[in-house]
Amino acid sequence: MTDKRQKKALTLECIASMIKGNLVGEGSIVITGASGIKEAVEGDITFVHDTKYLKYLNDTKASAVILKEGWDNAGLPTIFVKEPYFAFATVVREFYELGYFFHDGISERAVVHHDVKLGKGVSIQPLAVIEPGVEICENTIIGAGSYIGLNTKIGSECIIHPNVTIRENIIIGNRVIIHSGSVIGSDGFGYAHNDKGFFKIPQIGTVIIGDEVEIGANCTIDRATLGATKIGDATKIDNLVQIAHNVEVGKNCAIVAQVGISGSTIIGDNVKLGGQVGVIGHLRIGDEAQVAAQSGVAKDIPAGTRWMGSPARPLMDAKRIEAFLSRYDRIMDRLRELEKKVERDKSK
């Protein structure tokens, strides 16, 4: 059994060098962990990235803190950086590798077909099923109860958590993380309809997932009808997201929980979709676009713009409509008063 969360010990001076920060205080202090400002204990380093949390520094038990450049000294050893949140994440990853316990090697209780290709250091957990023609590259972990379908290829250093389903003929890149309950490569929602009802269209395409993608729990990414559903490098997908057939998502996108993206929509690079955004099919969302939570996207969104509302509109237009609606009752009352005045004037 391997524990990938074993602690380390680093001096504060070493940490400051690692995150390229300016250290104020004793650099020889030994740091043995990283924690939130309320939960921290002696030996931990913590951080503050928002001024509203500075008040907690008076009571924290942390041995050191990471703060934003330009803020006042915290009264305890401090490392000043441009981006405290990012710096703290770097420290956490140094102390604790991605937290997943796994058995080394191939479990005797896994079902692995003889016609598979496994790289060095692959770990396959109990009750996983690996079908013929699968290729799994070096140092990848397949969690307990996961299913890897016929001829699927999974890159190196991936973590496939327990009870993930990756169907046949799927391509997964390197350093991909897929959380429990997700299904990659189910049939897309494709039917032809006539007066006799719905006729299923065979879904014979694939899914291609790029490098360093992370997919949350209970997500579904459907295979293409023809061609490929694509997720670009370094895109992060939250829990409970549905991505339909032939969708193409660009690089470095962030897709928050309960988003639904209909078929054949193309999403550019660095796009952010807030929670519960719905996108109808065959649209284009340009690079760097942002869509606020619970928006309903029914038309193309140009690159670099921010949209919100249902139906989604450019941000400022949507805010003006919201502002109007908040005054609607007062406006209607005033309108009725004016109508009554007009009627009185007519009767004179």
Task: With a cut of 70, list the residues of the chain below it in pLDDT.
Answer: 1-7, 97-101
The whole-angstrom separation of Cα 145 and Cα 110 is 8
8 Å CB contact between 304 and 288: yes
Amino acid present at 127? L
Q: What is the DSSP-derived secondary structure letter of residue 130?
A: E
Tokens of 42: 């002696």
How buried is 78 (Cβ within 10 angstroms: 0-12 exposed, 13-18 middle, 19+ buried)? buried
Strand partners, 198: 193
Q: Are 291 and 309 in contact (CB under 8 A)?
A: no
Residue 330's H or E segment, with its range, is helix 328-347
Residue 24: closest CA among 67, 87, 86: 67
**Distance (Å, whole) CA 166 – CA 152:** 8
Q: What is the pLDDT of residues 246-274, one digit of tens each?
A: 999 999 999 999 999 999 999 999 999 99
Q: Which residue(s) pair with 23 in the sheet?
A: 79
User: What's the pLDDT at 40?
Assistant: 95
Count CB neighbours of 194 within 10 A: 7
Q: Kindly report the CA angle at 171 between 165 and 172, in degrees rounded to 5?
A: 70
pLDDT of residue 342: 84
Q: How far apart are CA 130 and CA 140, in angstroms?
A: 13
Taking alpha carbons only, the member of 124, 123, 126 closest to residue 109 is 126
pTM as predicted: 0.86
pLDDT at 75: 86
Active-site residues: which are they? Answer: 245
DSSP 3-state of 297: strand
